[in-house]
Structure 1
């Protein structure tokens, strides 16, 4: 199920410009920004139309990696209608065409994992530095509700080239190429448990989990339960984010509503009822966690600072709050990764 909702596209440019320009030239992003006047219609001035036009120009020029990035923004912020789903399909097509030029080993495959008494299939990407030994650790990694495995390629590529581990990249339930499975606390965690089990069979048995934004919610779960050997939580909502009375910024109410499987923008009561189940207080009250690193920007408009600071004082847990930046420390991302990468390497070492 999916739906569109009222959102000013220029608000999304305000928030996401730093992220957009990580993978695309500033002048191209700004040109699309100037052209976009409405969010949903697939016509000149529409978000999906203008971003897709940029993607098509890159594709025609053989710049498949840039085309994949542009189509990634075309389908942003949610697979709410047919044009968005078409943009996702084009992104995947261009990404696969770009793969032979990646400076990393890359494999796209479809895995089958247990899900609600049956099975679920989901595409994943395996990425590693060239020549990485087969017996290296494996790190599960995902973005959140609106930035998915293919969108974050540049970041994963740098991590793979730096980290002595193989990355297993996936989309959360309710998002991206896993949008056919609704995002629920237990269902989403069950999918990840299946991926952890698979990851233990393809390396040396040691597995880490690096989650960004809502992905950080699930890496907090695997870290707090000790399901993985190391967990990194970057901008993850864990408790206060799901409290009654929490508002949303920059269209996030519709983004989250789509991921949760609603067919219309949920009202406050519906949303709060769905959110209550994600609260990790019961796990925070336990002492079963493995090694964890929790990082975020100090000025996050989406995730309250308490959801980072709540980890202070836990055993085997590091907490880093980066000043003068917001959600997932995106405008100071290099600083965040300079903390995360060596920590993960040390935590997964034999």
Structure 2
């Protein structure tokens, strides 16, 4: 894993229409309803800068309004949207700072049990959120990581639910995302190994599970091939092989994805796919995976090609797939995905409480029932 890097400038910025389209899934995943975030998007007329009408300014303004009303966690999520998809200048840097600050204030105002930690990864301090760590009663560990656009504050509020499952929990970021200063690289699997090394003694890291969303799912699989402490993986839309190698598919990958990857790995956008070519997981590696893998996939995924989940079906021995007729991340199926992911995790655990498993089965069934007809 390589050393810290400065943010790369994006020049003319991202395609604004595409940015607005992709951020909606993230807004919904954070519980920001359309009648709240749609007016923010309507006010945005430029991706660049930090003046009224800019991406960062309008999201920050919305976050400030929630913060002033005492809705600190919601404010943090609006700020998170303001730094989407990555920090490329003062405006998004301001949004990230406010997101971290608001989350920090929220987690200390009630009995969340969430603590801030800093771990050393190859000599670099990396900040994470934790809960349920105890030297007296070390629990099995769940490590949660988002994708290439998701800082830890986007998922940190899950930690109290994780400790309720009698797990210790950690929320971390992929290298280059949020406050993680490392460079995203093929060997970034060191992130998981270093976290387990650092938390040994306060969690039973020999029973570690990874809830690894989007691109972090790809790294999680690679990490599990070499670290026997990892006992299971739950993912959502992980790229596997064809994303990295299929040049025809790559021509249609959304610009926001390509630009974000270029920012994280430190190459020009036109070179990003060539740079990532050898990151593909081979069929032999997939066959060698000896822990359970559960993954949510989307039949209309515009980022991960359909050949990738099909490759999992062919080669992974212990596989559970949840397929949605949806786009990347399955934003129209959030309740079912969340319940199913926790149920998949629970079924991987030999120490799982049957009563909790039964409740999660019921939650998945309830999420699948159609709602009332308008």
TM-score normalised by L of structure 1:
0.88
In the comparison of the two structures, how many residue pairs are matched?
338
Q: Does 1:14 align with 2:16?
A: no
How many Å apart are 1:13 and its aligned residue? Answer: 2.1
Instruction: Select 2:145's aligned residue among 120, 123, 142.
Output: 142
1:284-317 deviations in Å (ceiling 9; x for gaps): 2552432222221221100112212212154652
How many Å apart are 1:197 and its aligned residue? Answer: 2.4
Contact 1:15 1:250 in 2 (8 A): no
How many Å apart are 1:250 and its aligned residue? Answer: 5.0
Q: Does 1:252 align with 2:253?
A: no
Instruction: Select 1:104's aligned residue among 108, 112, 137.
Output: 112
Contact 2:232 2:293 in 1 (8 A): yes
Q: Does 1:231 align with 2:233?
A: yes
2:13 & 2:316 partners in 1: Cα distance?
44
How many Å apart are 1:158 and its aligned residue? Answer: 6.9
Instruction: Name the Cα RMSD after superposition.
Output: 2.4
1:225 & 1:238 partners in 2: Cα distance?
17
1:190-209 alignment to 2 at 5 Å?
190-204=190-204, 205-209=206-210
Gaps of 5+ in 2: 1-5, 352-374
Instruction: Select 1:3's aligned residue among 9, 34, 54.
Output: 9
How many Å apart are 1:37 and its aligned residue? Answer: 0.6
1:83 paired residue number: 91
1:152-180 deviations in Å (ceiling 9; x for gaps): 244x24742653312111011121111x2
TM-score normalised by L of structure 2:
0.83
1:235-264 deviations in Å (ceiling 9; x for gaps): 1111111115213215212111111123xx
1:295 paired residue number: 296
Task: Provide the secondary structure at the position in 1 that maps to 2:128.
Answer: strand
Gaps of 5+ in 1: none
1:61 & 1:285 partners in 2: Cα distance?
49
Distance 1:161 1:68, change over 3 A: same
Task: Provide the secondary structure at the position in 2 that maps to 1:229.
Answer: strand
1:203-258 deviations in Å (ceiling 9; x for gaps): 23311111101111111212344541111222111111111521321521211111
User: Which 4+ residue blocks in structure 1 deviate beyond 6 angstroms?
Assistant: none
Contact 1:168 1:199 in 2 (8 A): no
Distance 1:89 1:110, change over 3 A: same
Distance 1:337 1:158, change over 3 A: farther
